[in-house]
């Protein structure tokens, strides 16, 4: 019954192509100043003391009708829920990572208030109408143009977290930012090295190298300078000595010993992320702004199965 339901799924998804979900996540703003970025697919802005992160994507609810069997219908519906969740999270990660890369601030949307409007002909006519409704409840604060806001817009425009390598790299950078702001220096360093590790996987998958590269080789593959390549290798050595294993000594003094290097590591990793984003736009495998979500799903169904289902997770039952 499951293969039959999956064969019917593309036709069912085509029926939902006329519907879109517009989602806003609202939290207390961690920024001391107002910001705003708006695009057709994702946005962020300050409203009074709050920060809004939002995105638009496919409305893939009610998919149980692909099968008359309730268990099969529920299974497919759960998968489509996680698939759409990945899309929305990826688009919100664009602005979330942009804020971290620009302002060194880690915003966590997971505990934020959730609002959703479904664009349906005859109800909400378009995305702009939904956004006007949201902004009526949360008006956008006045914002002055600045170099930092232009930098934020450049990051959000360039990054494509629907690509799993970009998504994973941005999560690790966001995690390093959150950990560093909490004074967890060794863990922040380990998360920064996580970006380099993902970059190595991407370099191999994108055929920039023939085998799994070292950190230095990953930096070379993405066009980083010789100094940056050496810094990536040094970062990996510190990760091994202090982050991945219990350190033999000087655990109390890590931040004092390596404070200047930690700032440099962050700048190097920022350059690495930029190079990854530029390379992804050349080798693009996952379209970030599809005109038809049902066709996009068919093209990326196997990838989504690997990303959002439970095929690669440890057995929670032990």
Parts of the chain belonging to CATH 1.20.120: 163-284
pLDDT of amino acid 246: 86
Residue 316: pLDDT band with limits 50, 70, 90: low
Segment 203-219, tens digit of pLDDT: 999 999 999 999 999 99
pLDDT of residue 27: 95
Strand-strand pairing, 42-47 and 36-38? antiparallel
Specify the DSSP class assigned to residue 251. Answer: G
Q: For 99-137, what is each residue's pLDDT tens digit?
A: 999 999 999 988 899 999 999 876 667 888 889 989 998
Q: What is the pLDDT of residue 63?
A: 85
pLDDT mean over 277-283: 98
**pLDDT at residue 122, rounded to an integer:** 66
For domain 163-284, give the CATH number. Answer: 1.20.120
Q: 243 near 230, Cβ under 8 Å?
A: no
Integer Cα distance of 152 and 289 in angstroms:
19
Helix locations, 1-119, DSSP H = 2-15, 70-103
Share of the chain above pLDDT 70, in %: 98
157 near 43, Cβ under 8 Å?
A: no
Q: Give backbone dihedrals phi and psi of 266, rounded to 5 degrees, phi first.
A: -65, -40
Q: What percent of the chain has pLDDT over 90?
A: 75
pLDDT in the model for residue 73: 87
Tell if the pTM clears 0.85, that is, is over it. yes
**175: three-class secondary structure by DSSP:** helix
pLDDT digits (tens, 9 = 90+) for 187-198: 999 999 999 999
pLDDT at 274 > cutoff 60: yes
């Amino acid at each position: 019954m499951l293969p039959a339901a999956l064969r019917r799924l593309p036709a069912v998804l085509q029926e939902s192509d006329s519907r879109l979900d517009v989602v806003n996540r609202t939290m207390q703003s961690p920024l001391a100043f107002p910001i705003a970025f708006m695009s057709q697919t994702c946005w962020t802005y300050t409203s009074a003391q709050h920060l809004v992160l939002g995105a638009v994507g496919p409305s893939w609810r009610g998919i149980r009708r692909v099968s008359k069997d309730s268990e099969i219908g529920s299974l497919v519906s759960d998968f489509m829920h996680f698939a759409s969740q990945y899309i929305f999270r990826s688009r919100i990660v664009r602005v979330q990572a942009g804020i971290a890369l620009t302002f060194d601030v880690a915003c966590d949307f997971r505990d934020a208030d959730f609002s959703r409007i479904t664009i349906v002909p005859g109800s909400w006519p378009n995305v702009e109408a939904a956004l006007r409704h949201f902004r009526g409840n949360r008006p956008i604060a006045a914002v002055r143009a600045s170099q930092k806001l232009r930098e934020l817009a450049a990051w959000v425009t360039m990054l494509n977290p629907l690509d799993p390598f970009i998504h994973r790299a941005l999560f690790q950078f966001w995690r390093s930012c959150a950990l560093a702001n909490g004074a967890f220096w060794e863990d922040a360093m380990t998360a920064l090295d996580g970006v380099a590790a993902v970059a190595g996987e991407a370099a191999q998958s994108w055929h920039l190298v023939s085998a799994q590269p070292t950190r230095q080789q990953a930096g070379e593959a993405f066009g980083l300078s010789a100094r940056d390549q050496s810094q990536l290798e040094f970062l990996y050595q510190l990760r091994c000595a202090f982050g991945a294993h219990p350190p033999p000594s000087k655990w109390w003094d890590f931040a004092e010993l390596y404070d200047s290097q930690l700032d440099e590591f962050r700048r190097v990793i920022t350059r690495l992320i930029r190079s990854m984003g530029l390379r992804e736009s050349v080798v693009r495998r996952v379209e970030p702004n599809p005109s038809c979500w049902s066709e996009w799903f068919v093209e990326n169904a196997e990838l989504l199965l690997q990303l959002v289902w439970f095929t690669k997770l440890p057995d929670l039952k032990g």
